[in-house]
Amino acid sequence: MASGIAVHDDVVLTFDKIRVRLQGADKQEQLKLVLFKISDDGKCIIVDEEKCLKVKDLNGEEDVFRKIVNMMPTDDCRYALYDCSWESKDSPKEDLVFIMWAPEHSTIKKKMKYASSKQYIKAKFQGLKFEWQVNDMSDAKDSSAFIDKLGGRGVVKKLEGKEV
């Protein structure tokens, strides 16, 4: 580990929780969004316990995309896993999306730390198909940039049950 960043065991356990659907488990209790951050001492990537959403937290939410964006800090970096439900013209899909959040109001030092540590957390998340990197709020003002990452409007017909 050249950067000196370790990935805490809880990060891997949380990845398994969001990825694996246990038979008989309550769907409302499934994780929908988990944020990860670099610890205050700068040595480890940890789960940001206060910034997790379960399926039940999104019940009745008009704009799931906006709710997810609003969970992100405006002046600090984060990694996130988002369990995205979407539909193509062929079929419904569920995919984990890795998010690298590095907003314009974060310090250059933090952006560099997160960018150089991204490979370590991604190595723990095997099988991810999609990655979305946000560097300024124009990337997150609406769902269009995110939909492009999933294949664009020609492929994506619904996002979280809503027509796009």
The model's pLDDT over 25-57, given as tens digits with 9 standing for 90+, comes to: 788 888 999 999 999 999 999 999 888 999 999
Residue 93 confidence (pLDDT): 92
Q: What is the pLDDT of residue 137?
A: 78
Tens of pLDDT, residue by residue over 134-159, are 988 788 888 888 999 899 989 999 99
Buried b / exposed e over 126-148, threshold 16 CB at 10 Å, is: eeeeeebebeeeebbeebeebbe
- % of the chain with per-residue pLDDT over 70: 96
Secondary structure string (H, E, C) spanning the chain: CCCCCEECHHHHHHHHHHHCCCCCCCHHHCEEEEEEEECCCCCEEEEEEEEEEEHHHHCCCCCHHHHHHHHCCCCCCEEEEEEEEEEECCCEEEEEEEEEECCCCCCHHHHHHHHHHHHHHHHHCCCCCEEEEECCHHHHCCCHHHHHHHCCCCCEEEECCEEC
In this prediction, residues 106-119 reach a mean pLDDT of 95
Mean pLDDT of the region 65-85: 92
- Distance between CA 110 and CA 160 in Å, rounded? 31
Of the candidates 46, 111, 103, 44, the residue with the CA atom closest to the CA atom of residue 69: 103
The model carries a pTM of 0.88
Res 129 pLDDT > 70: yes
**Strands 6-7, 130-134: pairing kind:** unpaired
Please give the share of the chain, as a percent, with pLDDT higher than 90. Answer: 58
Q: Is the pLDDT of residue 2 over 70?
A: no
